[in-house]
Amino acid sequence: MNRRPRTGSGSLLMTVAVLGVLVALNVLASRGAQAWDLTRSGINMLAPQSVLAARSLESNLLVIGLFRSGAGSDQAQAEALVSLYEAESPRIQYRSENFDVDLADVRKYSVTEPNTLVLDYRGKTQLLTPALQTEQDFTAALVKLKGDHSPVVCWAAGAGGRSRTDTGQRGYSAVASLIARNNFQTRDLLIADVAAIPSGCDELVLIAPTVPLSASSIKAVGEYLASGGSLLIAGDPWAETAAAAGSLNDVLKPYGFAFSGALVVETDSSRAFDVITPAVFVYGSSPITRDIQGVASFFPQTTAIKGAPDPAAKAVVIGATTGGSYAISTPREDLTRQAVDEAGPFVMMETLEVPAGAKKARIVMVGTTGFAENRVLPPLSNDANLELALASFQWLAREDALISIPPKPARALPLTLTQQDQSNIIFVTIFLMPGLIVFAGVMVWWRRRLIR
């Protein structure tokens, strides 16, 4: 009988001691800034490459979030990502602004889409649109900003076709501005009779010339690709000048490809803006399409890409039409299907990597010059064509190899607590719960004392 009170007292003292230790640990933990991510994919921490990129900044990096309030802004998600980088480097400085109010920053950085992150480092900038706000994108932007090389885009000029300075709906001024904001240099290259593509061209852009390319021009492009160059080439259906369309295909002929020249009609209304503007939601697996799966891009008045590559080459279909599509080979006003029309599906955009000595030539083929014209880019449109165009230029510049971070599942957002919320949590965890346990222990001790 004499052991019971000692046993009860010992249990009570042990409970109080354990609670005291837990309270002390809680207090110590609250004063520190250490964190551990125990999730399987490490979704709440940065990959080693990202940590290194943040810690190696030699100057201050200004990050500006230009958000538009309302549903779908993903502001909390973007700021949660930025906060992970801020925790790794005191040089990263973030501020949030209203896209519709902060016109000074919108104009200064030529931001055309709300909910964009602006990264400003030593006078160089990177714009991360909503579709380009993953850890991979942010770290790639840091690496580019710290790099000394700005890829040079040589734009074929002097043979007709779309102009990078044309501000009309059919012009390419928006995409030219887009790549300039992402640290690309652009210069015109007179292509009609060029004897050699300059070695300083990181990539060549050839957009459906209306004047036939000379044999020397075609040879120059071939030699450029044979040395490991990069080419963005776009065609159109129903070419006004057959010779010009034929010379464009002569560039692709050594690689087993050609533009068919027929107008593609898409009958599936769920996969088209209208019958001659097919849409793509599901893309081939490529660095170009990493961030736009499930987001629509449009291919106005497109033709099909035909052919098959050499077994040593690697081809990836980026976008294609449905099996209900068909192609009209010769111009006509009546677009209803006729027996002579070729049945789909058709490839509208495809990439190709071809061994070229120690390097690989890279080619992006698009069946329409409309995929990157002003009318399908912000502010006139909010589809995925902007990301598709930018990623194509980046892939051609081999910027996909800057980092290799495996994709992660959606990251849990930090819980924002008010001062009252924090006080309630402290009261419950430090006073109420331990107090209830102590009270229960006292009651057990008192009951045992009574029955003794």
Tell me: the pLDDT tens digits for 177-234?
A: 888 877 789 999 999 878 999 989 999 999 999 999 999 999 999 999 999 999 999 9
What residues are paired with 297 via a beta bridge? Answer: 280
pLDDT of 3 above 50 = no
Please report the pLDDT score of residue 50 as a whole number. Answer: 86
What residues are paired with 354 via a beta bridge? Answer: 361
Task: Report which residue type is found at 271.
Answer: R
User: How big, in percent rounded to 5, are the helix, strand and coil portions of the chain?
Assistant: 35, 20, 40
Give percent above pLDDT 70 in the chain: 85
Q: In angstroms, rounded to a whole number, what is the distance separating the alpha carbons of residues 225 and 41?
A: 40
Are 353 and 297 spatial neighbours (Cβ–Cβ below 8 Å)? no
Tokens of 85: 């980088």
Q: How many CB atoms lie within 10 A of CB 269?
A: 11
Segment 290-313 mean pLDDT = 92
- Characterize 316-348 residue by residue with b for buried, 16 or more Cβ atoms within 10 angstroms of its Cβ, and e for exposed: bbbbbbeebbbbbeeeeeeeeeeeebeebbbbb
Q: In angstroms, rounded to a whole number, what is the distance separating the alpha carbons of residues 91 and 98?
A: 23
Task: Report the mean per-residue pLDDT for the chain.
Answer: 85
Q: Give 150: exposed, middle or buried? Use CB within 10 Å, 0-12, 13-18, 19+.
A: middle
Q: In angstroms, rounded to a whole number, what is the distance separating the alpha carbons of residues 19 and 6?
A: 20
Helices 48-55 and 75-86 sit at what angle, rounded to 10 degrees? 70
pLDDT in tens, 98-146: 999 999 999 999 898 899 999 999 989 999 998 888 887 898 889 888 8
Between 191 and 429, the more confident residue is 191
